[in-house]
Structure 1
Amino acid sequence: MRPTPADPDAWNAYLAEGNAKQARKRVAADVLLRDPSGRVLLVNPTYKPGWDLPGGMAEANEPPERAARRELREELGRNVQLLGLLVVDWVAPHGPWDDQIAFIFNGGTLDAVDELRPHDQELSEARFVAVDKARELVSTRLRNRLDAALRALEVGRPLYLHDGAVAW
């Protein structure tokens, strides 16, 4: 017989068992930051090839926007006020990885960019680059997300992607 909410301990145990069987999603949370001339901030991770947007993976039970702000503090020593959501991308399983949900948040424009430098061992470099150069430096998967983030700024609303392609 299935427990009911009338028996809170049995009910919570039943729900916990169901929760343990549910799929888990990895969550990536990046930030689009620009300088006054419109260049895009990219970071060069030491743990993988290629350039990336600043941000990273959320920890267990961490909201994506908090993960993005935490990663910017840890990696660049910056407290950034997020101005909204630009992109949500469902990323299909690839290589050894299961699927994930990738977010890009709007970090706005940074005026004081002179002191911007990596603050931990995960990054070798951080720099602002022209959008066309940024598109060359990042992976195809991230290029699609970056293009969508820039488009979201133009249209004034977040975009949903399905494995890098605009879903609607």
Structure 2
Amino acid sequence: MRPTAPDPADTDAWNTYLAEGNAKQARKRVAADVLLRDPSGRVLLVNPTYKPGWDLPGGMAEASEPPEDTARRELMEELGIRITLLGLLVVDWVAPHGPWDDQIAFIFDGGTLDQDHADRLRPRDDELSEAAFVTPAEASVHLQDRIRRRFEHALNALDGGRPLYLRDGEPVM
């Protein structure tokens, strides 16, 4: 038999009850990346020093950090740029893989940098060895499978004008 929830008017008992439920519920890792372009339509890729292969700029959320704040923070820390996000392109539920539990991965539209800013863009910390604007076709070659699928669907969402929900890199809705 399930225990009966306390009366919400009893604030202490109610908060204890909610805390117990919260402690038992699953927690998800959250990644937030940005699709950022230059005036010629090339996309920004970064080469992380802590894992193989190229990636979109962005990173992992800190505790209780909203995904859009994660994306902006990571671009400031790693590339020294402040951007205004123009919208959501992709949400991808990523199944457990290797030693990792499942996660939720977002890609936001970072818009287009003017040519001067694009030309001056350089890594600002030791997490990145390189940053480069490449054509979408070149990006698909440089990205590993999981992020490549997400990236290609982000381009489709950009063209289609609406965000996509993915399950392990494949559209489900």
Instruction: Give the TM-score range, shorter chain.
Output: over 0.9
Distance, in Å, in 2 between the alignment partners of 1:110 and 1:77 is 13
Ranges in structure 1 where 5+ consecutive residues have no aligned partner: none
Distance, in Å, in 2 between the alignment partners of 1:138 and 1:73 is 22
Q: Which residue of 2 aligns with 1:26?
A: 29
Query: CA deviation digits over 1:98-148, x for unaligned, max 9?
Result: 000000000000112121000111000001011111001011111111110
Distance, in Å, in 2 between the alignment partners of 1:67 and 1:15 is 27
Q: Percent identity?
A: 74
Corresponding position: 1:154 with 2:159:
yes
TM-score (structure 1 length as normaliser): 0.98
Deviation at 1:50, TM superposition (A): 0.2
Q: Which residue of 2 aligns with 1:71?
A: 74
Distance, in Å, in 1 between the alignment partners of 2:125 and 2:23 is 34
Q: Which residue of 1 aligns with 2:13?
A: 10
Aligned-residue RMSD, C-alpha: 0.8
The 1:7/1:46 distance shift into structure 2, 3 A limit, reads same
Q: How many residues align?
A: 168
Deviation at 1:2, TM superposition (A): 4.1
Ranges in structure 2 where 5+ consecutive residues have no aligned partner: none
Q: Which residue of 2 aligns with 1:113?
A: 118
Q: Match for 1:81: what amino acid?
A: T
Q: Match for 2:127: what amino acid?
A: E
Q: Match for 2:119: what amino acid?
A: D
Q: Which residue of 1 aligns with 2:86?
A: 83
Q: Which runs of 4+ in 1 moved over 2 A?
A: none
TM-score (structure 2 length as normaliser): 0.95
